[in-house]
Every structure is written in structure tokens, then in C-alpha cells.
Amino acid sequence: MSYTNEENDAVEHAIRADPVTPGVAWEAANFYLVQGDTESALREFRVVLQNDPYLPYAALQLCWRANPDVDTLLRKVVPPRVEAYLAFLDLLIDRKETAGAAKVWSALMKSTQRFEPVYLFRYVKYLVLQGEAEQARLVWQQASGILGLSSYLASPNNLIVNGTFGLDILNGGFDWQYLKQPGVSLALDPSAFHGGYRSLSITFDGPGVTDAGIYQFIAVQPNTEYEFSGYFKAGEIEGAGGPRFAIHDVYSTKTYFESDALKDAEFWKPVNADFTTGPETKLLVLRVARVPAGSPIRGKLWIDDFQLVQKQSGSK
């Protein structure tokens, strides 16, 4: 499509008359794209990103089609605003541009601007799904100070985050997460606890239960010995087998530990285990499995006071 000189002059006049209005910049940017003037289009899209909180994703989609280079877009188009960085990060996640997303994340962290934790959760989940467990851990660590989540960092004293359920459950990142399961109800219970001032209660009531729905990702090192502990107590649980603590490799699904059935415990009982990770293991998941899966189960279970530490050399 070709435009007359009059149309080109009209666009430039509109920009001079109203240089920071996003609607004008949006129309001008699209006009320049059609003309093949990518440089001018990117300049006007920067105006959109600087002044409209609702158009960043759509604007960056067009920018990416015109010039799919993260460094160029960060330098020429994306202003140092949290909304723009997050929109660019979302776009690159959607396109599975992992290396580019890391560059945008770095720029976001350097800006030290706060943002909603849901964006952090989404990026961590993406990295986990891409097999980038170490990068996911680093991202979680980097954002914790900015977002006020330092209490949700693993430590050498406990690689399990929020092991006593004393903090709010974030349902994302490296804190506890939960997926609603049919026949299972989860609740924080201040009336029963072992290590802090509340526990997690799990009520089973129905057939088809394969999992309690509560789990946590845990970053670990390969070829390393670990010591696990947790506590449970249970009301009368009906059904074959029962719920069990289970620890698996996220990627290979190898089982490193599965407890006996968590039942017949009027008072708090400990569960302990030692295991050594394999040469490729870098991310574990701790969950409460129902064994045998799918079999009817009814009753109530409380869990609390989880700990995972690297086993010290020479310890028994």
C-alpha cells in the first residue's frame, strides 16, 4: 500500500502537534510500518509504551514482527517502566524465547520497580517447564527482595520453604502450590500444629483421589545426600492404603522417597528419610500422594514441620 505525500505530511503534523498522545503515536507507528519505515515505527511505539498502560503487549507484538531483536527493542523501544518490561517478558514467554526473556528480566531487576508477584510466578513456572531449574531458582532469589518475599527463600537450614505453614501460601514459585482435587479439601489449621502455630489439614472424602493437590518444588544439587523430615497426625482414615509423602525428580519422575501410609496417628508422628540425588537431578517435587491411586478414601490428615537439608559429611 502506498501513501501520498499529503498523507505522510498529515501524520508528521499530527505527531508534532501531539507528540506524547498514545493514540496518535499508535496510528503513526502503524502508518510507518506499512510504509516499511521500521525506525520511525519503533520510535512511535516507544511513545505508546511510555504513555499507555493498556497497549504495551499489542505494541510489542508489532515491534517484534518488525524487528525480532531483544537488544534493539530494549535499547530503542522499551522505556524503563515496569508495565513495559512485564509486557515484553510475557511476549517472550509466549514465544518461548528463553534467552531473550532472561535479558528482559535482567533489565526489570535493575530497575528495582515493584510488580505483582503473579508475573514472577508465571516466569518461574515457565523456566521450570523449560528445564531451566537453576535459572528459576535465581529468578526467585533476585525478585524476593524487591517483592518482599525474602521469608520464602530456601536456606541451608531448610530447603523446604514455609515448612511450618506459618506464612501465607503463595500458590506459586518455590512456595507451596495447590491444585483443587475432587474429593479433597485443604485448610490451614491453627488448632493443630507441631513446629509453628498451624498445620495444613487435608480432608479426603470420595473416590478417584490420586493426590492431595499440595506440592512444592525444591531446588537441589546432583549427586548429593539429603535428609528429609516431616510430621503428620491423622484421624480415622478409611480405605485401602492411604496418603503418603512422596519426593520425585520433576524431570525424570524418579521417586527418591515414598513414606508408609500416613494413618493411625492420634498424636504427631515423624517421618524421616535419607536419599542421594542422581547425576542429572536438579529439581525435586514434594507432594502428598494417595496410594493406591484412585481408590476411595475418607478421613482427615494433618501435616507440618517439613525440613530438607544437605547431609553433612560424616553424619550418620
For the stretch 118-148, pLDDT in tens is 999 999 999 999 999 999 999 999 999 999 9
197 shares its domain with 288: yes
Q: Residue 148: enclosing H or E segment and its boundaries?
A: none
Asked if residue 164 is part of any domain, the answer here is no
41: left (phi over 0), alpha (psi -120 to 50) or beta: alpha
Q: Point out the domain boundary residue: 113, 128, 153.
A: 113
Domain that holds residue 45: 5-113
- The larger pLDDT score, comparing residue 302 to residue 26, is at 302
Domain end point (choices 113, 130, 163) = 113
Inside any domain, residue 169: no
pLDDT tens, position by position, 47-90: 999 998 888 999 999 999 999 999 999 999 999 999 999 999 99
H-assigned helices in 55-185: 56-66, 70-76, 82-94, 98-111, 117-129, 133-147
Q: Do both 306 and 181 map to the same domain?
A: yes
Instruction: Kindly state whether residues 100 and 196 are assigned to the same domain.
Output: no
pLDDT at 314: 58
Once rounded to an integer, what is the mean pLDDT over residues 274-280? 98
Q: Both ends of the chain: CA-CA distance in Å?
A: 77
Q: Which residue has the cell 519422575?
A: 253
Considering its fold, how many domains does the chain have in total? 2
CA distance 287 to 256: 12
pTM of the model: 0.92
103, 203: one domain: no
Q: How far apart are CA 36 and CA 185, in angstroms?
A: 57
pLDDT of residue 91: 98
Q: What percent of the chain has pLDDT over 90?
A: 82
Q: What is the pLDDT of residue 289?
A: 96
Q: Which amino acid belongs to residue 58? A: A
Separation CA 129–CA 209 (nearest Å): 25
